[in-house]
A and B are shown apart, each in its own frame.
Chain A
Amino acid sequence: MMKKPSAEQTLGGRLKGNRSDKAFPYLMIAPAILLFCVFVIYPFAQGFISSFHKWDGLSPMKWLGLRNYENIMQDSLFWGAMKNTFLYAILVTIIKNIFALLLALFLVKKVLPGRTLFRTAVYLPVTMSYVVIGVLWMWIFNPTFGLLNPLLEFMGLGGLIRGWLSDPDVAIYSVIWVDIWKWTGFHMVMYVAGLNSIPEDYYEAAAIDGASSWQRFWKITIPQLNSTIFTNLLMSVTGAFTSNYALVNVMTGGGPNNATEVAATYIVKTGLKYVNLGKANAMTFVLFIFTLVFGMIQLKTIVRDENYDH
């Protein structure tokens, strides 16, 4: 952890301190700490406290004890939404990363014509907002003049045609696909960078020893790529718990029949449409507990990677 530096090492020590110098470090962090307290700590605390109350957001809170949480336990809509949230997070994370890694493996270390163009193109959706992408895909999925169904028909797969956003069994997967579409290019670029940092001699040595390309992949590439894979998985999963709000809200509004409701959309509905902020905030904290594991892994990775005394 942090070493105590001797006085002459520090700027404060050199430029001998009058009182304003002593205050200087605190003045420098004050705005950041203030913003952090007002917009992260305060909402967190207020949200937590209100989750034990009946609250409409305006009039004073009324104490309910654990009633909101008991209420949630029996709310099948909420657990349906949580199930979708997890399905979304898991599928998005796995599929994005598999696609991205496969593309990166193909792309890396080969001087293919059109390689840069390809990278530019698959990265494009990263710069677009979820709203625009959601609306665009809504029309691609549209049964009467969308792109998808005519394409399937053209390929002789007419049997697959369905209401991509209106069929309750399929709708959530359609939304999940759009998230995958948006981020695969981004993860691919991360994997290409990771693959490029593996020293070439590892492969050369393995080739001399007669290792097959399959062996080289499992014995060199994957272990060397470990931390890249870890970062990518963590990045996909932490984002996925709430980034689904815009897509679901724009594309399906949670329907049909709550089939695409996710925690983020259901929380907002409960809080603002049904004006039950206490219960909505209780849900926020249930969701938070589930994401806390990933948050803590993230914090731990970050603190471990931090170099305290350079």
Chain B
Amino acid sequence: MVEKKTSKVVVMVIGYAAMIVCLLLCVYPLIWMVFGSLKTTNDFYTNIWGPPIKFIWENYVEAWRRADMGRRYLNSVFITGLFLLINIPTACCAAYSFARLRFKGQQKLYLFLLCGIMIPTGVLTLPLYSTMVSLGLINSRVGLAITYAGTSVAFSTFMMRGFFISLPKGLEEAACIDGCTMFGAFRRVILPLTKPGIMILVIYNGLSNWTEYHLASLVLPSAAKQTVPVGMALFQANNAIEYPVLFAALSLATVPMVIVYILCQKSFISGMTAGAVKG
């Protein structure tokens, strides 16, 4: 009995220790990043671990200006926003049709679309780049948003279809006794009931494309059109001399999303979990 108790205590101690190590491992790099962003260059070299001796807020002004963060945020917001505006209606319409209507060739067309799920994200980046060249979509924010909408349409449709199917049968007829168009039934009756599914698309697809780098770095050569991740990678490659400013830029690229995450943690976690089946 005593032995059992000690072994339990040992497990607890090891577990707690592991938890604390993990906690530090996850959070300290971020704290370090913010500390570093507020130091003087000299402080940065000599005082590696601790908080800044003097807080240099100007680093942020400098980083915002030199890394052109304002413009890059606007670009990212624009591209992600436009992407969602295309992605959600196309996926919802197609998913509704596949889930609740009957038409010839339905199953074949659906399986055709599902083939898209077999191709892991990013494998086709280079052929996709060539396609964008031939369609004249290079160096265009709109072009990138449309392309994102194309690469994620298969998975989004698949996901939304699950939501439409789980709604009770005959809902459209019941709600539209006095008659409404088929599109009206979809838009006014069914679509509002699938808000949780749409939330998942917004979070999962939104975040995937907000952080996307591979394709964005190839198709947005002009600095004025680049997204936050692309801009960040370039800034790091070109300005690796004043480290505190680099760290300030990193913080500027990270902190807003972290705040959004902390505020809507629940929907963030459930959205990512439900969406990530595709990996």
Which among A58, A243, A307 is the interface contact of B165 at CB below 8 angstroms?
Answer: A307
Contact (Cβ within 8 A) B182 A40 = no
Interface residue? B60 (CB, 8 A): no
Flag whether B52 is at the interface (Cβ < 8 A): no
Residue from B172, B214, B253 in contact with A242 in the complex, judged by beta carbons closer than 8 Å: B214
Give the residue of A11, A50, A132 whose beta carbon is less than 8 angstroms from that of B101: A11
Whether B150 pairs with A129 at a CB distance below 8 angstroms is no
Which residues of the partner chain B approach A139 to less than 8 Å between Cβ atoms? 36, 243, 247
CB distance from A200 to the nearest CB of B (A): 19
With contact pairs A12-B102, A129-B229 given, residues A124 and B126 touching in the complex (Cβ less than 8 Å)? no
Select one of B18, B124, B254 contacting A106, CB under 8 A.
Answer: B18
CB distance from A48 to the nearest CB of B (A): 8
Report whether A40 and B233 are in contact in the complex, using a CB–CB cutoff of 8 Å: no
> Which among B44, B101, B149, B272 is the interface contact of A25 at CB below 8 angstroms?
B101
Q: Is the CB of A291 within 8 A of B123?
A: yes
Which of A69-77, A182-190, A218-226 is the contact stretch? A182-190
On chain A, the residues within 8 Å of B130 by CB distance are: 43, 46-47, 50, 57, 277, 281
A124 touches B250 (CB 8 A): no
1/0 per residue, CB under 8 A from B, across A277-306: the answer is 100110010011001101110110011001
Chain B 140-176: CB-based contact to A (< 8 A → 1; otherwise 0): 0000001101110110011000100110010011000
Residue numbers in B under 8 Å from A106 (CB-CB): 15, 18-19
A205 near B: Cβ within 8 Å?
no
A196 contacts the other chain (Cβ, under 8 Å)? no
Residue of A with least CB distance to B172: A11
- B29 interface residue per 8 A CB criterion: yes
The complex places the Cα of A11 from the Cα of B54 at a distance, in Å, of 69
Check if B118 sits within 8 Å of A280, measured CB to CB. no
CB distance B262 to A120 under 8 Å? yes
User: Complex formed: what's the CA distance from A234 to B47 in Å?
Assistant: 43
Contact of B125 among A118, A120, A132, A264 (CB under 8 A): A264
Inter-chain CA distance A186–B269, complex, in Å, is: 8
* B210 touching A129, Cβ below 8 Å: yes
Chain A positions within 8 Å of B74 at CB level = none
A residues less than 8 Å from B228 (CB atoms): 129
A39–chain B nearest beta-carbon distance, Å: 2
If A39-B151, A136-B250 touch, whether A32 touches B93 (CB-CB below 8 Å) is: yes
A-chain residues with CB within 8 Å of residue B112 when the two chains form the complex = 33
Minimum C-beta distance from B216 to chain A (A): 10
Would you call B1 an interface residue if the criterion is a C-beta within 8 Å of the partner chain's C-beta atoms? no
Cβ of A160 within 8 Å of any chain B Cβ, yes or no, is no
Bound complex: CA of A234 vs CA of B279, how far in Å?
Answer: 8
Contact B26 A32, beta carbon cutoff 8 Å = no
User: Are B94 and A33 touching (Cβ within 8 A)?
Assistant: yes
Partner of A35, one of B19, B118, B149: B149
The distance in angstroms between the C-alpha atoms of A14 and B257, with both chains bound, is: 48
Please report the C-alpha to C-alpha distance between residue A21 and residue B211 in the assembled complex, in whole angstroms: 41
A127 adjacent to B207 (CB under 8 Å): yes
- By a CB distance below 8 angstroms, the chain B residues around A299 are 114-115, 117-118
The complex places the Cα of A193 from the Cα of B269 at a distance, in Å, of 11
Q: Which of A162-179 contact B (CB under 8 A)?
A: none
For the complex, what is the distance from the CA of A69 to the CA of B169, rounded to whole Å? 52
Q: Out of A243, A250, A287, name the residue touching B233 (CB < 8 Å).
A: A250
Interface pairs A-B: 9 shortest CB-CB: A39-B150, A47-B127, A242-B122, A129-B211, A32-B94, A295-B118, A28-B97, A43-B127, A235-B279
**A-B CB contact pairs (8 Å), 20 listed:** A1-B107, A9-B169, A24-B101, A28-B97, A32-B113, A107-B19, A114-B19, A118-B22, A124-B26, A129-B229, A130-B211, A130-B213, A132-B229, A132-B253, A136-B250, A245-B213, A249-B213, A267-B126, A295-B119, A306-B162
Name A residues whose Cβ lies closer than 8 Å to a Cβ of B. Answer: 1-2, 5, 9-12, 14-15, 21-22, 24-26, 28-29, 31-33, 35-36, 38-40, 42-44, 46-47, 50, 57-58, 102-103, 106-107, 112, 114, 117-118, 120-132, 135-140, 144-147, 150, 181, 184-186, 189-190, 193, 231, 234-239, 241-243, 245-246, 249-250, 264, 267-268, 271-272, 277, 280-281, 284, 287-288, 291-292, 294-296, 298-299, 302-303, 306-307, 310
